[in-house]
Amino acid sequence: MRRMRQYSTATLLVRGGTVVGPEGLVEADVLAQGERIKAIGRGLPALHDTRVVNAEGCYVLPGVIDSHTHVGLDTGRFRTQDDWFVGTRAAACGGVTTVIDFATQSPGRTLAEAVEARRTEAEDAVIDYGFHVMVTDLPPHREDEIADLADLGAPSVKLYTTYRPNYFVGDAAILQLMETSARHGVLPLIHCENDDLVASRVDSLTRSGQTSWRYHGRSRPPLAEQEAINRVLFLAEAAGCPVHICHCSTARSVSLVGDAVERGQRVTCETCPQYLLLDNRLYEGPEPWRYVLQPPLRDAEEKVGLWKLLQAGFVDLVSTDHCDYTVTQKLAQDDFRKTPGGLPGIETLLPLMLTYGDLGGGTSLCHIVRLLCAAPARLWGIWPTKGTLQPGSDADIVVYDPAVESEIRADELHHAAGYTPFEGMSVRGAVRATISRGEIIYHQGRFSGRRGRGRFLVRQPL
């Protein structure tokens, strides 16, 4: 069923832009030959059949890697309305050239079966993709399955400390999975919220009849997240296992990770644009349904704290946790317990981070390229194929025009949801072109990527 690889020696020249690397800015052209970058330098010549992309006045960045997405998600209870074509088309239009999504192991199935099934689902992808493997049940005697993850090209396991009974994994199983993962170069990434603290808060809100959307933020308190992170870090230390903490929504979450790093642990963390740019006052507003997600939006001062820690280098990467539930699905019932959790965000990631990641001059751009490109590529085992502009790397390139001023509008985005949590926010600049392995898949408002051209990425273990 897998498509044949198509090799081409066509050349493409991104001319006259400012190339943004993790360490600095340089005025340079980028020449791609076939699927890879051939050269970076000033005044590179175009041959008669070279396709030229004009990047004058624009920034030229590596393609963005969104390493936490849920394209075509089926939780058993809810199903997002996108598929792999729709989801990765939205990504391409937003300058994202790689996603790392999830292959869910359902009870009774092996991890290899989960990866195989998800690869089939993803065959229509427009951009390249990899998977973290979501483990739901893994008896200790199946250690060999963790060992096999490297061979499957998916050397990371996603665990949840919440969502009883479906995805919840107890402490003993987490510890055992960490010990096993450490032996096989597999990196666990963990959704941290204390399930008991969440359940007791939901119970008390239910008893007092406060289950409408506007109470969602109160149902999952910051302490639940922080306690679970603290516990997971403690278990990781005991297991001698590196660990990645997903979607930190409070400043203390990031600080806990920073403290562990200071103690010598190998720990990384991410946050998402929604936690940097939105806050829980929106639950008091007219459309609280837009912001039902886990963890929920927090107090406004958390945004300030998260930006400070991000600027100081304590946040390793920024991802979206993209979930493409529609307005209809969100509006079905004014009850946070019965509303699918998760927000669409893949297409707005880059413009939002470039606009609001105002760290000052060139540093800001370089830092954002580290957060969105270099860091996820290194952490998830696809560096230097992805995440960098250098000869030999995949020619995944974004041309970003900083001169365009606009507002985010759902009807101009390419996902299925029909809304965006960032509606009406001003953004500075826009993606002019997205190039994936030397092929233009988006240019000046026109998407031209072919269904199924994306490839499964075999990622390297730690």
- Sites of contact with Zn ion (CB under 5 A): 321
Nearest residue (CB) to Zn ion, 102 versus 422: 102
How near is the Cβ of 50 to Zn ion at its closest, in Å?
A: 41
How near is the Cβ of 455 to Zn ion at its closest, in Å?
A: 23
Nearest residue (CB) to Zn ion, 321 versus 394: 321
How near is the Cβ of 64 to Zn ion at its closest, in Å?
A: 17
- 159: number of Cβ within 10 Å: 25
How near is the Cβ of 322 to Zn ion at its closest, in Å?
A: 8
How near is the Cβ of 30 to Zn ion at its closest, in Å?
A: 33
Nearest residue (CB) to Zn ion, 167 versus 400: 167
427: nearest Cα among 459, 400, 395, 397: 400
Nearest residue (CB) to Zn ion, 101 versus 439: 101
Buried-exposed string 343-359: b where 16+ CB fall within 10 A, e elsewhere: bbbbbbbbbbbbbbbee
How near is the Cβ of 67 to Zn ion at its closest, in Å?
A: 11
DSSP state letters, 79-136: B-S--HHHHHHHHHHTTEEEEEEEEE--TTS-HHHHHHHHHHHGGG-SSEEEEEEE-S
User: Which residues does 141 contact at the CB level (< 8 Å), separation at least 6?
Assistant: none
Nearest residue (CB) to Zn ion, 14 versus 100: 100
Residue with tokens 């922080």: 226
Nearest residue (CB) to Zn ion, 62 versus 340: 340
> Is residue 198 within 8 Å of residue 162, measured between CB atoms?
yes
**Cα separation, 332 vs 412, whole angstroms:** 24
- Which residue of this chain has its Cβ atom nearest to Zn ion in the complex? 321
**Cα separation, 401 vs 193, whole angstroms:** 39
Angle CA(198)–CA(203)–CA(205) in degrees, nearest 5?
A: 95
How near is the Cβ of 384 to Zn ion at its closest, in Å?
A: 27
Three-state SS for 44? coil
SS3 track for 286-302: CCHHHHCCCCCCCCHHH
> Is residue 3 within 8 Å of residue 12, measured between CB atoms?
no
19: nearest Cα among 51, 47, 44: 44
Nearest residue (CB) to Zn ion, 272 versus 366: 272
How near is the Cβ of 73 to Zn ion at its closest, in Å?
A: 9
Nearest residue (CB) to Zn ion, 6 versus 106: 106
293: nearest Cα among 168, 193, 188: 193
Nearest residue (CB) to Zn ion, 250 versus 393: 250
Amino acid in position 268: T
How near is the Cβ of 321 to Zn ion at its closest, in Å?
A: 4
Element (H, E) at 41: strand 36-41
